């Protein structure tokens, strides 16, 4: 029994699932479900189809280089059964997959954290600039709690003259 | 399985395909009126069925024949699947070969476009329908086999063909 990878979406194919297509040049394409198979028949390139692992890895959405991937490489040489080795491997598999999952999650969080900071900055700027759409400026001046705390910004002497004139 | 019975003949598929093309040619208005199923679905979901009487198969050994038309599928009323034996009539042959055009020969289906279930639950399908000519006893007539062959042949006791094969799928 061997767990294969779907040619299109790179998910694991468990025994009893999917279709195996053998092309006349003896290249075997395995598909996990009919969705992937139909996309293949439509001659779609998995590197261009957004939900596949191939696309995500290519566009840096998912982790590509990591030491945990070394454990999952395909080995074609059959190993002689060694009980101690098998036990160790069976104990190690959940640990490795847990480490891999946390690392992948961290990779995605790190990628998305830039967006979070930007969004927060934009929200703050919008609040400062467009608060007059929500509340009249006169009300804001009376009640100090409705505005954001003012930040000290150093400006040149000429600019300060101008603002005093506007008020 | 029910779907396979519905579109059994290949002529039915081509008719639907022709209908699809004609509808697409008319314009976007026609596409809106075809409510239930998309024209493109008919193109991509080709129902593959058994190798039956009239099926043309490619011959992938060096026996001299090039194309064989199935005249009888042994062992199954519906038709032959991957690994079954058929009786065929040679339609096209190479000039100096062991078989001539018009010969009635036995053949083992080594590649079938219809998927075949394996004992582990998965399915295999090939790109085309191909056959290896065989004597009545099951010995291959040719001495070479081209292209991939499935390992279903081992269970069907066609071990000689597996031995000659260049790739076992």
The pLDDT assigned to A166 comes to 56
Q: Which residues contact A4 (CB under 8 A, 6 or more apart)?
A: A12, A13, A30
- Establish if A35 touches chain B: CB-CB under 8 angstroms: no
**Contact with chain B for residue A16, Cβ under 8 A:** yes
* ipTM value greater than 0.95: no
> At CB < 8 Å, which residues of chain B contact A?
44-45, 111, 115, 120-128, 147-148, 150, 166-167, 169
On whether any CB of chain B is under 8 Å from the CB of A46, the answer is: no
Which distant-in-sequence residues (6+ apart) come within 8 Å of A76 by Cβ?
none
B107 with B74: CB under 8 angstroms?
Answer: no
B16-49, pLDDT tens digit by residue? 444 434 444 333 443 444 344 444 555 557 888 9
**Chain A residues whose beta carbon lies within 8 Å of the beta carbon of residue B120:** 1, 15-16
Return all residues near A91 (Cβ < 8 A) that are at least 6 apart: none
Chain B contact present for A99, CB below 8 A: no
* Eight-class DSSP state of B145: B
Q: Looking at the partner chain, which of A13, A22, A38 has a beta carbon nearest the beta carbon of B124?
A: A22
Per-position b or e across B114-127, b if 16+ CB within 10 A of its CB: bbbeeeeebbbbbe
Beta pairing class for A4-5 and A12-13: antiparallel
% of chain A exceeding 90 in pLDDT: 63
Instruction: Determine the distance in angstroms separating the CA of A92 from the nearest CA of chain B, rounded to an integer.
Output: 27
pLDDT tens for B104-140 read 999 999 999 999 999 889 999 999 999 999 999 989 9
Distance of alpha carbon A134 from alpha carbon B45, whole angstroms:
57
**Is A24's Cβ below 8 Å from some Cβ in B?**
yes
Whole-structure pTM value: 0.72
The pLDDT confidence band at residue A100, using thresholds 50, 70 and 90, is very high
| C-alpha to C-alpha distance for B24 and A135, rounded to whole angstroms | 57
Residue of A nearest to B43 (CA): A42
Lowest mean pLDDT, pick from A39-43, A146-150, B78-82 = A146-150
Chain-chain contact of B125 with A16 (C-beta, under 8 angstroms): no
User: Is the CB of residue A78 less than 8 Å away from at least one CB of chain B?
Assistant: no
The tokens for B135 are 């004597």
pLDDT tens for B66-114 read: 999 999 999 888 999 999 999 999 999 999 999 999 999 999 999 999 9
């Amino acid at each position: 029994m061997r767990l294969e990878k779907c040619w299109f979406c790179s998910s694991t194919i468990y025994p009893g699932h999917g279709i195996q297509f053998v092309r006349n040049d003896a290249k075997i394409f395995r598909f996990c479900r009919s969705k992937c198979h139909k996309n293949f028949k439509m001659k779609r390139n998995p590197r261009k189809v957004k939900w596949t692992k191939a696309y995500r890895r290519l566009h840096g959405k998912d982790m590509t280089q990591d030491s945990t991937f070394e454990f999952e490489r395909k080995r074609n040489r059959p190993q002689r059964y060694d009980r101690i080795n098998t036990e160790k491997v069976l104990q190690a598999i959940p640990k490795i997959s847990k480490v891999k999952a946390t690392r992948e999650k961290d990779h995605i969080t790190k990628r998305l954290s830039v967006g979070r900071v930007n969004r927060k900055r934009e929200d703050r700027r919008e609040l400062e600039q467009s608060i007059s759409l929500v509340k009249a400026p006169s009300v804001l001046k009376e009640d100090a709690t409705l505005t954001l705390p003012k930040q000290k910004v150093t400006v040149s002497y000429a600019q300060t003259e101008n603002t005093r004139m506007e008020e | 399985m029910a779907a396979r019975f519905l579109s059994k003949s290949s002529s039915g598929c081509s008719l639907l395909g022709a209908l699809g093309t004609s509808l697409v040619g008319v314009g976007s208005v026609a596409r809106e009126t075809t409510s239930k199923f998309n024209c493109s679905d008919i193109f991509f979901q080709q129902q593959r069925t058994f190798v039956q009487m009239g099926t043309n198969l490619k011959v992938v050994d060096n026996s001299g024949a090039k194309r064989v038309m199935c005249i009888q599928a042994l062992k199954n009323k519906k038709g032959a699947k991957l690994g079954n034996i058929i009786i065929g009539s040679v339609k096209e042959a190479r000039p100096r070969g062991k078989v001539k055009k018009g010969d009635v020969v036995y053949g083992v289906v080594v590649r079938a476009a219809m998927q075949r279930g394996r004992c582990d639950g998965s399915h295999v399908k090939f790109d085309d329908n191909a056959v290896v000519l065989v004597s009545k006893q099951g010995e291959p007539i040719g001495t070479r086999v081209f292209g991939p062959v499935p390992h279903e042949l081992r269970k069907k006791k066609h071990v000689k063909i597996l031995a000659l094969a260049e790739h076992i799928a």
